[in-house]
């Protein structure tokens, strides 16, 4: 893959995963107003159903307990999400107090810029909650990321610090993100120009994310990392795919760097959500792992329930997967235990809700900055209403998952 193609790939994946072009979702699951047939998970063999039931009964844990337990043997745990699913940042909020009680005092997050670290520390350890500063941190990260549940992670950290014993060390939220300057992108074709994209990224890269994490580990700290799943890959190598065909493996994810430094002291946990099909990252959304876990939960006698579990030695972990962009480059050997070390299931996809847009996130005070720093150049002259309504549409998870039960 050429440098131009690689830089374009990075930008495209960011647009698809973080900023869905505000109202122009390339993976929309309805066409021309016509509802498409709902895709049900596959029928499971009774033997597989019973094996999964027995294994999860013995080894599964409540999600918070599962994440905390991983730190008994690991220094770094990546939680990888598909973005804007309400219960994912809510889970992170709920983890901070039990993690602190267990001696884990650091959350590293994709959703803030490293250059704003001093501001983050002032918010999470300050005597009073500063909602305005939490908004500034989030806006600086991405101008259309004004969602209540992500902002409230900072408040959850502040609450932990407000309640800690006198003299006890603070809980810290560490920023991982780069500081791209999207004003250089003035037209769609700029994404194919390596000179333009170098100006956008300004020397950033996920090796810098990894260095933030590794600095903490070297200082004797354990770290929970919260990011999109693509940044969270550790041992697994993500394939680049063009026109439905494997191109090469990408080895430059933050988790890859951390894994090469400390090995299995770091693990990846996937927060159950959609995948895309084998056609590529812009293919239609599908049930993850060929829908095996979804089918199990929907068919079990007691109904679905929230559970976290490790994939090694599990029946689910060794199930061969066919329809997934992530299988490219792995021949017939792609199974969930290759993709991640752990998995957290919360509820059926049909019950997923999106995060909550903060009313008036874009207004007269920040519209000009929003226009300059929106990754999508179509928004260089967009109205306040277009920004805010686009954010709401991007967070409409039921619309995006309308085809998936």
Rounded to the nearest 10 degrees, how much is the dihedral formed by the CA atoms of 215, 221, 226, 230? 50
CA torsion through residues 107, 112, 113, 116, sign: negative
pLDDT band at 332 (very low <50, low <70, confident <90, very high): confident
Strands (E), 62-128: 76-81, 106-113
Q: List the Cα angle 375/240/12 in 5-degree steps.
A: 10
Sequence ranges of the domains in the chain: 3-400
pLDDT of residue 38: 79
Tokens for 237, please give them. 């190598």
Element (H, E) at 88: helix 87-101
With H, G, I as helix, E, B as strand and everything else as coil, classify residue 41: coil
d(CA 133, CA 143): 14
> Is residue 40 very low, low, confident or very high in pLDDT (cuts 50, 70, 90)?
confident
In whole angstroms, give the CA distance from residue 148 to residue 156: 12
From 343, 288, 334, select the one nearest 311 (Cα to Cα).
343
Rounded to two decimals, the pTM is 0.94
CATH 3.40.50.11550 assigned to domain 3-400? The reply is yes
Mean pLDDT score of the chain: 93
Dump pLDDT digits (tens) for 355-403. Answer: 999 999 999 999 999 999 999 999 999 999 999 999 999 999 999 999 9
Which of 404, 402, 405 has the alpha carbon at shortest distance from 33? 402
**What are 354's strand-pairing partners?**
85
**What's the CA gap between 176 and 223, in Å, rounded?**
12
- Per-residue confidence band for 213, with pLDDT thresholds at 50, 70 and 90: very high
CB 169 within 8 A of CB 148: no
How many CA atoms, within 13 angstroms, populate the side-chain half-sphere of residue 264?
Answer: 5
Q: Residue 7's pLDDT band (boundaries 50, 70, 90)?
A: very low
User: Is pLDDT of 4 > 50?
Assistant: no
């Amino acid at each position: 893959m050429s440098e131009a193609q690689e830089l374009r790939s990075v930008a495209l994946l960011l647009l698809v995963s973080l900023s869905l072009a505000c109202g122009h979702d390339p993976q929309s699951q309805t066409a021309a107003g016509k509802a498409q047939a709902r895709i049900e998970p596959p029928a499971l063999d009774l033997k597989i159903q019973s094996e999964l039931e027995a294994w999860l009964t013995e080894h599964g844990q409540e999600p918070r307990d599962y994440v905390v337990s991983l730190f008994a043997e690991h220094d770094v745990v990546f939680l990888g999400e598909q973005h804007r699913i309400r219960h994912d940042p809510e889970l992170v909020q709920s983890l901070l107090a039990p993690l602190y009680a267990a001696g884990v005092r650091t959350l590293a997050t994709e959703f803030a810029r490293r250059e704003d670290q001093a501001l983050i520390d002032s918010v999470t350890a300050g005597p009073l909650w500063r909602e305005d500063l939490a908004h500034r941190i989030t806006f600086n990260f991405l101008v259309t990321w004004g969602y209540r549940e992500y902002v409230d992670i900072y408040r959850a950290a502040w609450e932990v610090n407000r309640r800690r014993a006198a003299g006890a060390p603070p809980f810290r939220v560490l920023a991982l993100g780069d500081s791209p300057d999207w004003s250089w992108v003035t037209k769609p074709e700029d994404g194919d120009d390596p000179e333009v994209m170098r100006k956008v990224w300004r020397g950033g890269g996920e090796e810098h994310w990894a260095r933030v994490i590794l600095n903490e580990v070297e200082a004797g700290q354990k770290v929970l990392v919260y990011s999109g799943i693509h940044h969270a890959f550790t041992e697994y190598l993500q394939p680049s795919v063009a026109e439905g065909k494997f191109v090469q493996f990408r080895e430059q994810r933050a988790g890859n760097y951390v894994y090469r430094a400390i090995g299995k002291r770091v693990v990846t946990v996937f927060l159950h959500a959609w995948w895309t099909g084998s056609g590529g990252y812009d293919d239609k959304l599908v049930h993850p792992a060929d829908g095996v876990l979804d089918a199990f939960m929907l068919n079990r006698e007691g109904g679905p329930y929230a559970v976290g579990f490790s994939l090694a030695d599990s029946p689910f972990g060794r199930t061969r997967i066919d329809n997934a962009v992530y299988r490219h480059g792995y021949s017939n050997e792609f199974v969930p235990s290759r993709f991640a070390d752990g998995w957290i299931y919360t509820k059926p996809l049909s019950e997923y809700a999106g995060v909550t847009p903060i009313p008036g996130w874009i207004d007269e005070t920040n519209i000009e900055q929003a226009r300059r720093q929106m990754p999508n150049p179509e928004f260089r002259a967009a109205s306040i209403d277009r920004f805010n309504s686009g954010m709401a549409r991007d967070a409409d998870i039921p619309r995006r998952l309308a085809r998936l039960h």
